[in-house]
Amino acid sequence: MTDRKDFISREKFMAELWRYKKGSVTRRHFLGVTGLGLATSVLGSAVPGLRRAAWAQQNIGDRVVLATWPNYHDPANFEAFTAATGAAVDVNVFGSNEEMLAKLQAGGSGWDVFVPTNYTITTYVGESLIEPLDLAKIPNYDAASYNQRFAGPGTVDGTVYAVPKNWGTTGFAVNTSQLGSLPKPTTWKEFWDITMAEFSGRTMVHDYQLTTIGNALKYYGYSFNSIDPNELADAEKLLIEAKPHLFAISSDYQPSMRSGDAWMTICWTGDGKQMNRDMPEIEYVLGKEGGELWSDFYAIPKGAPHVDAAYALINFLLDPAVNARESLFHGYPTADARVDALMPPEVLNDPILYPAQELLDALEFGAAVTLTDPNRAELMARFKSA
């Protein structure tokens, strides 16, 4: 025991601190030589979600790059992750799955973890842009506790490429105080009809072909995923007819809805929840004809520079306690029964987050071909430039 170096003198500590501050030594050296690294990992092991995990003791590097969607994480969770592992979370925010796909196709994204939506995963697999997951490195993922409807798309041909993050729906939000004597719309047919009459100049649609074309198809009762040329032609006719009546074509609809410039918009669960929380007159509606149901995943792209950190981050975020905090922060439900058990009852009974079963049954998952179909992309372009 005599040769054990289990302490560091004050003078030596200050000297090392200055070396670190001046940049002559790395943080890793500093943490190692001062014993702070060990102290951090001991403290880290006291944080739920980090206990038991083998990687907490091993070095995962000093950063992990995450490509995700806006307002989709609780920053406090990232801070806890960094405090426990020493890896800073570098967040890149995206506006659409197409954009993510384009970035990965172009190569050199530098991402370690990304958040693809269900319908993109087979495309990523087909293009060899995604790593199969080693589930042994994600002990917090317990497949049995997940609703298979939402977890299923992460598995392609028996291989797990992605583990579920959150799920949600695509409906519309309507400012009921502007309805006057009109009954509250409950269908996509009414959504478009009101847009072209009483709400002229007040409706927004996503700048996203999947949802905008999908919900125009719903006007006629066609599938949200249709790539049938005749059905798409009908949808195009409706879109072109409605365009002069639209307030905007934009996926950034919260500011305009909140300011009262726009009265109705195609809307995702979390946005609907956030607006409704602050302005109860803005209600979230799922069209009776159906529409989109989606599930987002965590996945690791091919060539991720910090694979260990990627697994560590995914595992950390899937810890039920951490995941519950995420969900309470952004307002999107998870498919994990262990997380539901931690959620307050008013959340579980919230019709925006957990819609009635008959409304959910009418919804469809977006299909891979819906995203990649060149005709839908061109239709959207014609609609926008019309």
Partner 1 sequence: MAPATAWLLAMLVLPLVVVVVFSFGERAAAGGYSAAFTFENFANLGTRWAAFQNTLMLAPAGTILCLLIAYPLAYYLAIKADARWRTLLLILVIVPFWTSILIRSYAWIYLLGGQGIPKLLSTFGLGNPRLINTPFAVLTGIVYGYLPLMVFPIYVSLERLDKRLLEASADLGSPPWRSFLQVTLPLSMPGVATGCMLVFILLMGEFLIPAMLGGGKVFFVGNALVDLFLQSRNWPFGAAVAVALVVVMLVTVTLYMRLTRRWAGARDEVALM
Q: By the criterion CB under 8 A, which residues form the site for partner 1?
A: 96, 98-99, 101-102, 105, 123, 126-127, 201, 204, 207-209, 243, 246-250, 255-256, 259-261, 372, 374, 377-378, 380-382, 384-386
Nearer to partner 1, 26 or 105 (CB): 105
Nearer to partner 1, 208 or 365 (CB): 208
Which residues touch 218 (CB under 8 Å, ≥6 apart)? Answer: 188, 189, 224, 287, 289, 290, 291
Nearer to partner 1, 9 or 259 (CB): 259
**CA distances (Å), origin 352, targets 31, 73, 255, 332, 380:** 46, 19, 20, 9, 28
Q: How many CB atoms lie within 10 A of CB 10?
A: 8
Nearer to partner 1, 120 or 276 (CB): 120
Tokens of 279: 């302005």
Min CB(209)–partner 1 separation in Å: 7
Min CB(230)–partner 1 separation in Å: 20
CB 235 within 8 A of CB 188: no
Nearer to partner 1, 47 or 249 (CB): 249
Tell me the longest C-alpha to C-alpha distance in the chain.
87
Tokens of 149: 């409807």
Tokens of 370: 């819906």
Min CB(382)–partner 1 separation in Å: 7
Min CB(91)–partner 1 separation in Å: 18
Min CB(379)–partner 1 separation in Å: 10
Task: Tell me the H-state helices in the chain.
Answer: 10-22, 27-34, 36-45, 75-85, 97-106, 121-126, 148-151, 188-195, 209-219, 229-242, 254-259, 269-278, 307-318, 320-330, 337-340, 345-348, 357-361, 368-372, 374-385
Nearer to partner 1, 17 or 248 (CB): 248
Min CB(307)–partner 1 separation in Å: 24
